[in-house]
Amino acid sequence: MNLLNKMKDFFQDPINPIVLKELRQAVRSKFVTGALMLFLCVLLITFWIYLGSNELMNIHKSSLNMRAGKNLFQIFFGMLSYICIFFIPIYTGVRFASERASGTKTDLLFTTTISPNTIIRGKLIAGIIITILLFSACMPFMVFTYLLRGIDIPSIFITLIILFFLVTFCIQVALFLACIPGSRTMKVLIALVGLLGCFILAPVTLAVLFEHTSRGIGSKFQTQEFWIAFINYFLLGSMIIYLLYRFSIAIISPPAANRALPIRLSITMSWLLTCVAAFYWVFTSSDQDILFVWGFISIFAFSFALLVASGENDSLSIRVLKSVPHSFLLRPVSFIFYNGPAGGIFWAVIMALSTILITKLGLELYGYDPSKITESTMIMFLFFVYVYNYILTSILIQRKIFRGKISRKTRWIIALSLMSLGAILPVFAAFFMGNITRDIMTEWQYANIFSVFDDSTHHKHIYFAGLWAIIITFFSLPWFYCQTKNFRPFKTNKINEQ
């Protein structure tokens, strides 16, 4: 008996308590049970109606319809897709958002030993298990369509695997949206954005997968291109799910935690993996445009990272300072990965410049047109420099002009407002002067971040953006110095925890 109790404890301890709570509530919920039973009834009725119709015979009713299995599979697959893409993410996200709004988050995070990592992982696993439950209810009907001809077993299972992966992505997106703090109005807007994404994603998924099942996925199993594309898309989707998972954990983590460390490490590793994948695709397909796509996406991502980093707290908590390395060699590396706006800006600048350099060297290595290389890398560089200038300007305005009267969290709002003014003011000035011409509009767009995509103005943007970067960096040097000086182990630093 003692041995059985030990074995029971051994298997129960690793189980996520959030998973147990979610599954118990789902099983006891009349809504989930009723939805599952209704889904089974609809599947069964649809199946019998289809068998009783003339769809099994061809037009002349002289032989069996060889597409009957494929048609019935598409009906079942469409029903499963819409239910999973809409029902499960909404169910998971709304429940988590209501728990955070009602104060359950405080009980879970601060009155128990459950970590934010455990909470998000438990919610995700619970959603995946409910997805498996719906898939297991529908899969026997789908497999039976193989007997009606028109579709093969590999096509059935590959499409189900793709749909399952897509539903997992939607669940994680719903959890991420539910983690975002804000007022009730903002949460409603976020929910509407999520619903709009589901409305767009569901029909697109069905159209793409129906096209592939019509051609027969099983016939492509022997080709190398199918497995390369399948594995690459699978790895890319897994990376996005993991990043959203890390973002969700960081949002619900306590303010004193080192939120930035796992996020910046994850983004850096993802950047390296996508870089290797981009070079591999260029090497195998000789399509250099893939490097351009990777470079621009990376630049946009690190530009957004600047906006996020600007709103971080200037003073680090005791919890973070206690983890600062005592080694002078490790401390600079830790500085760019730990909490703090200055470290985040340094990290984003290093990553962006590395992206531009790798893109330029990679395209030159594969013999791309030198003029297009210069034009594209200049667009990346100028775009990021303008974002850098606007971010540092917003930080300077918040610190010196408003003198801390407004929250540091409004820095990104100030930066976006300045970007909008830089694009709109030249238009209004030319309008009131009564001299709106294409040449005037081109000449006056110095502060417009989007005008960098016009290669005819690059030489002017270089001087303007470069001079602005030098000036704003000079005025920000005391702030950068204060940030780096205070980044020391707790014993040598008397900063109070906020």
Burial 387-399 (b: 16+ CB within 10 A, else e): bbbbbbbbbbbbb
Domain chopping of the chain, boundaries: 2-221
Mean pLDDT of 156-184: 86
Given a contact cutoff of 8 angstroms between Cβ atoms, the answer to whether 33 and 133 are in contact is no
**DSSP line for 250-311:** HHHS-TTS--HHHHHHHHHHHHHHHHHHHHHHHHHH--THHHHHHHHHHHHHHHHHHHHHHT
pLDDT of residue 164: 92
Phi, psi of 488 (to 5 degrees): -140, 160
Does residue 411 sit in helix, strand or coil? helix
Quick: pLDDT tens for 299-323: 999 999 999 998 888 888 888 888 8
Q: Which residue has the higher pLDDT, 265 or 410?
A: 265
Task: Report the number of secondary-structure helices (H) and strands (E) in the chain.
Answer: 19, 0
Mean pLDDT of 399-409: 79
Calculated CA dihedral for residues 457, 459, 460, 461, nearest 10 degrees: 80
Structure letter (DSSP) for residue 459: H
User: Rounded to two decimals, what is the model's pTM?
Assistant: 0.83
Quick: pLDDT tens for 242-280: 999 999 998 888 888 888 999 999 999 999 999 998 888
pLDDT over 50 (residue 1): no
Total residue count of the chain as it appears in this document:
498
Phi, psi of 67 (to 5 degrees): -110, 10
* Alpha carbons 127 and 95: distance in angstroms, whole number: 11
Q: CA nearest 348: which of 271, 253, 446?
A: 271
Quick: pLDDT tens for 431-465: 666 555 555 555 667 778 888 887 777 777 888 88
Q: Both tokens of residue 177?
A: 């949206």
For the chain, give the percent of residues with pLDDT over 90. 20
Neighbours of 110 (CB within 10 A): 9
pLDDT of residue 108: 57
Mean pLDDT of 194-210: 78
Given a contact cutoff of 8 angstroms between Cβ atoms, the answer to whether 357 and 419 are in contact is no
Q: How confident is the model at residue 494 (pLDDT cuts 50, 70, 90)?
A: very low
Mean pLDDT of 277-287: 81
Q: How confident is the model at residue 3 (pLDDT cuts 50, 70, 90)?
A: low
pLDDT over 70 (residue 56): no
